[in-house]
Chains A and B, each alone.
Chain A
């Protein structure tokens, strides 16, 4: 019985871990190209889930998910073009406040459009009660979907950044924006692209976990803090480490319910975040020396 419970918590932790990891990766993509932490990152996940639910009203599920991802990507690009693209060397404080403002506007807009109701997509395969049994542990197929999609996203990003011209240009932009511009890389477009990309993966994650965790207009800010915790835990800018950190956080949170009231579940991740910031801001897998070179 003990082991079954243990694995049940583990699976729950992994499920939440995937979404935290994806939000964390979203932070990293934008941070790498712009040096900005986009506080509206969690809102992309919410937008993806909400749009997919609406589209599902008149489209088959796969098309609804694809449509939602595309719409959110366009939103991400528009946000960058309207609010960020034309700023000349904005200070960090200014960017923090602007992205917080954006996240509030998206959230209030979603409240206006979709109301306070909790929504969810149907299960991709099977339904609420269908489960795979693995040695006594019940596993919803949707859990496999979300873990699988997370893996595919990570793989895709890896290939994209390492083996395509566009990906390499984005990395050049991350390494040194001025030098990249001198090489003829349109750095402004790369920044827009980074917003489009992180909006897209956020939306996809929002769709996949929607059947399990549900979607509401207000989920964004909580996810943003979790995602940031993950990004810090793995080392800011390191997407692969964010996946590992996401699973660590998800599992820790899930097991915290064992010993602490559920109301404090959110406080756990923030306590981890604060502890990391104080003790080792370069992250579990980060390099202290490299961290010093980044400007904060």
Chain B
């Protein structure tokens, strides 16, 4: 990583610290809750940005991967195996530390899967599903790809909504905290709010570093060539199918990780997280941020998610995202923080230069 690329990352970390200090100074510490949630949503969106903006493949089913992560983790950490203690397999898992005993809300003891183990299972599951779905789906293009991913999202939604084990319309609640180091855990506990905020944004920063490195590498160039002209890329020896699939899987894993942590943070997950509207919302954010601009996507994701979570859009929440989609795609298909802004900055710079030339 060249030093010049450190600067935006440092700026991001600086902004994260600055925002925390500002909320502290302004007495608005409760904003951090929504900012933490925004961070997790940002994790999905930057992954989707890699898929849409760089590999040029649309996905209208990313809320499905979020739900796979979130629900797997929620189910495994809330299920009670205490009754099967005698079962050799259960006993073995308990010994290995995969299962942990804990107290439930009413003081009864539960034997359920340790959050870390659940997280690993959830991410692996998302990885495998993305692989299995990705192979056939990514052969499709245009409308077919959009509809197939939409179909995948809808299936996940109807499974989640129609299955009793997943809590049907109520979702799953009382998900335990996710223990990190030194007694800190990912949970909605207000005493851990600041630490959780930093943890979430650290996760986003790590993901950003990874993605930024990826897109400025050989892989990134290959992806851009696929976006530009897939046939030509193939003719140049780029293994288009493999690159598209691994990008799809990477973005699915990011979505699942976000799902796992947000579920532990919120202490539960509901079927609305798997809904098509959520997937469309992620696409909208990528579109506003500028297809192919990770930083633009990150900024718009924080702004829009924060406003939405704080309820500034009221009952027009979905309508706002629908409107954003149309306006951006009609007038600025490259996004507002993408090429247009750069062009505008360039124009202003040129204009100033010309003026200063004139005055001389």
Interface residues of A (CB under 8 A from B): 37, 83, 87, 91-94, 96-98, 100-105, 107-109, 221, 225, 228, 232, 261, 263-264, 266-267, 270-271, 273-274, 277-278, 281, 295-296
User: Which residues 130-145 of B sit at the A interface, judged by CB distance below 8 A?
Assistant: 136-137, 139-144
Q: In the assembled complex, which residues on chain A have CB atoms less than 8 Å from the CB atom of B58? A: 93, 96-97
- Nearest 10 CB-CB pairs, A to B? A263-B162, A104-B322, A101-B325, A108-B319, A101-B326, A92-B142, A270-B151, A278-B136, A37-B143, A296-B142
How many Å lie between the Cα of A107 and that of B136 in the bound state? 31
Q: In the assembled complex, which residues on chain B have CB atoms less than 8 Å from the CB atom of A92? A: 141-143
Closest to B161 in A: A263
For B137-168 the 0/1 string (1 means CB < 8 A from A) is 10111111011101110110011011100000
**B144 partner, pick from A83, A101, A102, A281, beta carbons under 8 A:** A281
Q: Are the C-beta atoms of A98 and B330 separated by less than 8 Å?
A: yes
Q: In the assembled complex, which residues on chain A have CB atoms less than 8 Å from the CB atom of B151? A: 225, 270, 273-274
Q: Could you tell me the distance in whole angstroms from the C-beta of A78 to the nearest C-beta in chain B?
A: 14
Closest to A104 in B: B322
Q: Could you tell me the distance in whole angstroms from the C-beta of A117 to the nearest C-beta in chain B?
A: 15
In the complex, B316 has a CB within 8 A of chain A: yes
Most A C-beta atoms less than 10 A away, residue of B148, B154, B329: B329
Judged by DSSP, the binding face of B is helix
7 of the cross-chain contacts (CB-CB < 8 Å) are: A37-B147, A104-B280, A107-B322, A225-B150, A225-B151, A274-B151, A296-B140
**B329 partner, pick from A94, A232, A271, beta carbons under 8 A:** A94
How many Å lie between the Cα of A106 and that of B132 in the bound state? 35
Closest to B281 in A: A104
Apart from A94-B329, A100-B280, A277-B148, list 4 A-B contacts with CB within 8 A: A92-B141, A98-B329, A101-B323, A296-B141
Total A-B residue contacts, Cβ distance less than 8 Å: 114
Q: Are the C-beta atoms of B154 and A100 separated by less than 8 Å?
A: no
How many Å lie between the Cα of A96 and that of B323 in the bound state? 14
Q: Are the C-beta atoms of B322 and A277 separated by less than 8 Å?
A: no
How many Å lie between the Cα of A263 and that of B158 in the bound state? 7
Q: Could you tell me the distance in whole angstroms from the C-beta of B147 to the nearest C-beta in chain A?
A: 5
Q: In the assembled complex, which residues on chain B have CB atoms less than 8 Å from the CB atom of A263? A: 158, 161-163
Q: A92-B143, A101-B326, A281-B140 are in contact. Are A108 and B148 (CB under 8 A)?
A: no
Q: A93-B142, A98-B325 are in contact. Are A83 and B152 (CB under 8 A)?
A: no
Q: In the assembled complex, which residues on chain A have CB atoms less than 8 Å from the CB atom of B161? A: 263
Q: Could you tell me the distance in whole angstroms from the C-beta of B309 to the nearest C-beta in chain A?
A: 19
Q: Are the C-beta atoms of A97 and B287 separated by less than 8 Å?
A: yes
In the complex, B276 has a CB within 8 A of chain A: yes
Q: In the assembled complex, which residues on chain B have CB atoms less than 8 Å from the CB atom of A94? A: 329, 333
Q: Are the C-beta atoms of B146 and A96 separated by less than 8 Å?
A: yes
Q: Could you tell me the distance in whole angstroms from the C-beta of B160 to the nearest C-beta in chain A?
A: 10
User: Which residues 272-297 of B sit at the A interface, judged by CB distance below 8 A?
Assistant: 276-277, 280, 283-284, 287
Q: A94-B333, A96-B146, A225-B150 are in contact. Are A101 and B322 (CB under 8 A)?
A: yes
In the complex, B80 has a CB within 8 A of chain A: no
Q: A96-B58, A264-B158 are in contact. Are A277 and B280 (CB under 8 A)?
A: no
Closest to A93 in B: B58
Number of B residues, CB within 8 Å of A: 43
Q: In the assembled complex, which residues on chain B have CB atoms less than 8 Å from the CB atom of A264? A: 158-159, 162
Q: Are the C-beta atoms of A96 and B142 separated by less than 8 Å?
A: yes
In the complex, B321 has a CB within 8 A of chain A: yes
Q: Are the C-beta atoms of A102 and B140 separated by less than 8 Å?
A: no
Most A C-beta atoms less than 10 A away, residue of B147, B283, B322, B326: B147
Closest to B286 in A: A97
How many Å lie between the Cα of A66 and that of B298 in the bound state? 49
How many Å lie between the Cα of A93 and that of B55 in the bound state? 13
Closest to B333 in A: A94
Q: Could you tell me the distance in whole angstroms from the C-beta of B220 to the nearest C-beta in chain A?
A: 20
Q: A94-B329, A97-B283, A101-B323 are in contact. Are A266 and B276 (CB under 8 A)?
A: no
How many Å lie between the Cα of A20 and that of B52 in the bound state? 31
Q: Are the C-beta atoms of A105 and B326 separated by less than 8 Å?
A: yes
Q: Could you tell me the distance in whole angstroms from the C-beta of B328 to the nearest C-beta in chain A?
A: 8
Q: In the assembled complex, which residues on chain B have CB atoms less than 8 Å from the CB atom of A91? A: 333
Closest to B317 in A: A108
Q: Could you tell me the distance in whole angstroms from the C-beta of B94 to the nearest C-beta in chain A?
A: 34
Q: In the assembled complex, which residues on chain A have CB atoms less than 8 Å from the CB atom of B316? A: 108
Q: Could you tell me the distance in whole angstroms from the C-beta of A71 to the nearest C-beta in chain B?
A: 21
How many Å lie between the Cα of A127 and that of B296 in the bound state? 57
Q: Could you tell me the distance in whole angstroms from the C-beta of A157 to the nearest C-beta in chain B?
A: 22
How many Å lie between the Cα of A105 and that of B322 in the bound state? 6
Q: In the assembled complex, which residues on chain A have CB atoms less than 8 Å from the CB atom of B141? A: 92, 296
How many Å lie between the Cα of A92 and that of B333 in the bound state? 12
For B322-338 the 0/1 string (1 means CB < 8 A from A) is 11111001100100000
Q: In the assembled complex, which residues on chain A have CB atoms less than 8 Å from the CB atom of B158? A: 263-264, 266-267
How many Å lie between the Cα of A50 and that of B324 in the bound state? 26
Most A C-beta atoms less than 10 A away, residue of B161, B163, B321, B322: B322
Q: Are the C-beta atoms of B319 and A296 separated by less than 8 Å?
A: no
Q: A261-B162, A296-B141, A296-B144 are in contact. Are A83 and B326 (CB under 8 A)?
A: yes
Q: Could you tell me the distance in whole angstroms from the C-beta of A13 to the nearest C-beta in chain B?
A: 19
Q: A97-B287, A221-B276, A296-B142 are in contact. Are A271 and B155 (CB under 8 A)?
A: yes
Q: Are the C-beta atoms of B154 and A225 separated by less than 8 Å?
A: yes
Q: Are the C-beta atoms of A267 and B280 separated by less than 8 Å?
A: no
How many Å lie between the Cα of A107 and that of B325 in the bound state? 14
Q: In the assembled complex, which residues on chain B have CB atoms less than 8 Å from the CB atom of A107? A: 318, 322
Q: Are the C-beta atoms of A296 and B143 separated by less than 8 Å?
A: yes
User: Which residues 34-57 of B sit at the A interface, judged by CB distance below 8 A?
Assistant: 52, 56
Q: A96-B142, A278-B136 are in contact. Are A270 and B154 (CB under 8 A)?
A: yes
Most B C-beta atoms less than 10 A away, residue of A100, A108, A261: A100
